Structure 1
Amino acid sequence: MKALLITGWLPVDGLGPSTGLLVRQRLFVDALAKCCEQVTIMYMAHHDPDYAPLEDSALDMQATIARDFGDTFKLHVCRRRAPLKMNSPAAYMRAAASIYCQPGYASVSGSVQVEAIATALQAKPDLIFAHRLQSMLPLMRLRHGLPPLFFDLDDIEHIALQRYCLRRPTQWKLLSRLTEIPALVKAERAAIKLATTTFVCSTLDVRKLQARFGADTVQAVPNCIRIPPDTVRSDKPRLLMLGNFAYPPNRHGLEYFVETILPMVRREVPNVELLVAGTSQHKLGFAARPPAGVHLLGFVPSLDDAYSQASVAICPIYTGGGTRIKIVEAAAYGMPIVSTRIGAEGIDLQEGAEILIADTAADFASACARVLKDHALAARLGAAARQAAVAKYDRSMMLDTLAAEFRKGVEARQRAYVPNPARQPVG
């Protein structure tokens, strides 16, 4: 089989630390590698060639792809348009009317990007995999003559945008973006209708889309990981927050935790420490002068090292969508976990037995203090979480499932176009 993969994120190792988005993307990419003899990547690169290392030329990027995947994968690069400037009431009105005029979407859906996809389709791929809603937009402008189309909607975008805006009701620029939601919903509906199969992160997201759109072609593909070996947790009272802090839900959640929740925890556990691991920590409001007991570790190359230094993993996330790979990873490492309900949304861990859920500042602080002080509880939670992760989130099993799903979609389309000899005219 031949596949066309459309994405705005280069699916390779070595360009920096893996984010949850890239870990999930790589699951689908590796599944394509299992079932396809040829995969063409249409990479919607940043509009500025100097934006990132190894993006100086298509040749550099092709070499990186060849390093990771060999000759199976070929790279085509189409640069995005420069971002829209939202500097006038008219710009906001256009964004409210159409997703093609919204920040983050307009840059990947212009005539140049549509033409690049149309050219790639001339090679007649057996299937298309569209990574995220942005990658669906040029296909929605082509619409006709497409092979089986698989679409990963890792975040239900209108829900994520609504939560993000409402979390900061005093910022009028954010609130004005609420006017974009109807056009965003319309685009999600059209994308799901166009796709042969739409993948989401959880059965909860499946139910949301079924309720909103009546969609019957949506399947849950959880964020799966490689199961690590057993890890010995630290016996010191150390909380761990791991993430990409360029992502606003992570950054804002951690800032709120440090400002409001951590002092409450310290009243119960005076020697508590907070370890912060991950990228873009310079964006944190307290980065220049971290409070006492807060340690900014930066990017940690080995997750084994990060989790072995901590005793409890936290996820104080109040906005966003999809599911948090950081929680699945923490569970696989046998960590006791404290999360908000949104932070743990869609993850199949049993509340109270495999994860502690708390939303208010007082409840979150109490849950952290409880598990820091009660070592038997921490051990039970960690062991149960690891057992659940091994049973439900093992990457190797999901790869086979996805490869079979891709084959099934292509074979179904081929059967639909095979003429029935019994119906052919005689003579």
Structure 2
Amino acid sequence: MRKRVLMVMTREIPPEATNGRERTLRFIREAIGSEVELREFTVRSLFESGGLTAKMGAFLRLLRGIATGVPCALQVAMFADRRKERELAAVIAEFKPDVVYLDGIRLVDYAPGIRVLIGRRPIIFDFDDLMSRRAAILHDARLPVSPGYLTKSIPGPLVRLANASFIRQTFLQYERYCLQRQERQAVEAAHAVTLVSTDDARALGALLDARAMRKIHVIAPPVTSTRPLTRPSDPLRFVFIGSDTQLQNRLSIDYLLGLWKRLEPRTPLVIYGRMVREYDAVPNVRFAGFAPSHDDVYTTSSIAMCPAFLGGGIKSKVLEAISHGCPPVGNATAYEGLGFHDDSLAMSEADLERFVTDPSQNLDAVLDAAATFASYCEAHYSVTAFATRWRNLLALSPAVQMQPASPPMPAHQPLHL
């Protein structure tokens, strides 16, 4: 009889998702779906489910946390729903899962009830990014709050209010404090916790004791190579892809525009993606809008510009570029959490400026480093390696978890299970 796995999700997974978190979730489902009997259950945020009952439930969850001295992060309270708890309990009673997968820290409130219902059978928490670390990064850099995939459902005036300077800083401090406690709570309830970044895993490990640290696993999204790396042909061009609806892309676009305005390089920059802001014209920079295909972006004459200024998680742009045979040039933050670093790709600010001004001077070193990175991704971030790690993770049992385990493994090494 095949193992039964219940995936409790915070969003639907489009069958053809091609980027972001939805792409990763699709690969997880495909990796484990062929091996097990799979069922999905979706819990939506109060902004998506609507209704006065959902909003009152979230408000009461926040009040209960404050009254008991254990405050709740807003992004956890947004998913508090007694009705959904009852529905989930009914699904568990009927399906009798051998493993329950929880999609992110936002579902931590559901873990105690699940534990009562399934006993010692495994719970896997898939954190993706470490949200408490992201809140700390935004606070320290005084950057705005971004609702992420909930942007379309959260009212704009509420987002603008949250980003008023004093409110934003207080809110981010509150979220960081609450999330750190709730992340520890999730680890305690789970048999395994996954993250995509080695840096995030170390940050979480710093909050835990040695026993809890053994539950942490790093499984980065897979890379599917579509074209081997080749030397870019003349005339060269730099490319950047990403909509400015996302904070990390806005920061990168502003930096690149400032760079081209100040240095006036001869090599053009083409920026792809749907934009919501208006930008002043900058010589040798062109906004090309939405790209119908990645092949339109990563042409044989392109070098991907991937500077990043928002830490946390991993930056899929560098993985995407190398999978399309395009050398990805950025800074240290762009390569954070991947377990790979080469100064010829993760450039200092001065080196990046020199490369933009005259790419021919350092192109050979960039291509050598990119070839090494491509081989590294082929070995450690392939779809096969990704599927194997997730299938190994599903082999967890309470009896196995009670035994001493090795420390958390970086993304490029197999799990210890």
Q: 2:407 maps to what in 1?
A: none
Q: 1:67 maps to what in 2?
A: none
Is contact 1:149–1:197 with CA below 8 Å preserved after alignment?
A: yes
Q: 1:220 maps to what in 2?
A: 218
Is contact 1:226–1:395 with CA below 8 Å preserved after alignment?
A: yes
Q: 1:196 maps to what in 2?
A: 191
Residue 199 of structure 2 aligns with an amino acid whose one-letter code is L
Runs of 4 or more, structure 1, over 6 Å off, are 48-51, 83-86
Using the alignment, how far apart are the partners of 2:270 and 2:52 within structure 1?
38
Is contact 2:335–2:346 with CA below 8 Å preserved after alignment?
A: no
1:335 pairs with one of 311, 326, 329: 326
Is 1:261 matched with 2:259? Answer: yes
Residue 387 of structure 2 aligns with an amino acid whose one-letter code is L
In the TM superposition, what are the counterparts of 1:77-156 in structure 2 within 5 Å? Answer: 81-82=54-55, 100=72, 102=74, 104-122=75-93, 123-140=95-112, 142-146=114-118, 147-156=121-130
Q: 1:243 maps to what in 2?
A: 242
Unmatched runs of 5 consecutive residues or more in structure 1? 52-77, 416-427
1:345, CA displacement in angstroms?
0.7
Using the alignment, how far apart are the partners of 1:394 and 1:274 within structure 2?
30
Is contact 1:83–1:107 with CA below 8 Å preserved after alignment?
A: no
Q: 1:165 maps to what in 2?
A: 139
- 1:366-417 superposed Cα distances (whole Å, 9 cap, x missing partner): 343353554433432332222222122111222123113213448858x9xx
Using the alignment, how far apart are the partners of 1:12 and 1:371 within structure 2?
39
Q: Structure 2 vs 1, CA of residues 390 and 369 (structure 1 numbering), >3 Å: closer, same or farther?
A: farther
Using the alignment, how far apart are the partners of 2:222 and 2:313 within structure 1?
13
- 1:131-176 superposed Cα distances (whole Å, 9 cap, x missing partner): 2211333224554233311111111111111112222279323212
Residue 11 of structure 2 aligns with an amino acid whose one-letter code is W
1:343 counterpart SS class? helix
Is contact 1:118–1:142 with CA below 8 Å preserved after alignment?
A: yes
1:265, CA displacement in angstroms?
4.0
Q: Structure 2 vs 1, CA of residues 231 and 23 (structure 1 numbering), >3 Å: closer, same or farther?
A: same
Using the alignment, how far apart are the partners of 1:345 and 1:95 within structure 2?
39
1:168 counterpart SS class? coil
Q: 1:419 maps to what in 2?
A: none
1:221, CA displacement in angstroms?
0.8
Q: Structure 2 vs 1, CA of residues 384 and 108 (structure 1 numbering), >3 Å: closer, same or farther?
A: same
- 1:116-140 superposed Cα distances (whole Å, 9 cap, x missing partner): 3222211211111112211333224
2:117 counterpart SS class? coil
Q: Structure 2 vs 1, CA of residues 303 and 410 (structure 1 numbering), >3 Å: closer, same or farther?
A: farther
1:395 pairs with one of 358, 361, 383: 383
Using the alignment, how far apart are the partners of 2:299 and 2:281 within structure 1?
22
In the TM superposition, what are the counterparts of 1:2-401 in structure 2 within 5 Å? Answer: 2-14=4-16, 18-36=18-36, 38-45=37-44, 81-82=54-55, 100=72, 102=74, 104-122=75-93, 123-140=95-112, 142-146=114-118, 147-168=121-142, 171-177=165-171, 178-214=173-209, 215-230=213-228, 233-258=232-257, 260-266=258-264, 269=265, 271-278=266-273, 281-286=274-279, 289-308=280-299, 311-353=302-344, 355-358=345-348, 360=349, 362-371=350-359, 373-401=361-389
Using the alignment, how far apart are the partners of 2:71 and 2:263 within structure 1?
43
The percentage of counterpart residues that share the same residue type is 18
Using the alignment, how far apart are the partners of 1:312 and 1:80 within structure 2?
51
Residue 328 of structure 2 aligns with an amino acid whose one-letter code is I
1:396 counterpart SS class? helix
Q: Structure 2 vs 1, CA of residues 211 and 115 (structure 1 numbering), >3 Å: closer, same or farther?
A: same
Aligned length: 370
Q: 1:62 maps to what in 2?
A: none
Unmatched runs of 5 consecutive residues or more in structure 2? 144-163, 404-417
1:153 counterpart SS class? strand
Provide the TM-score with structure 2 as the length reference. Answer: 0.77
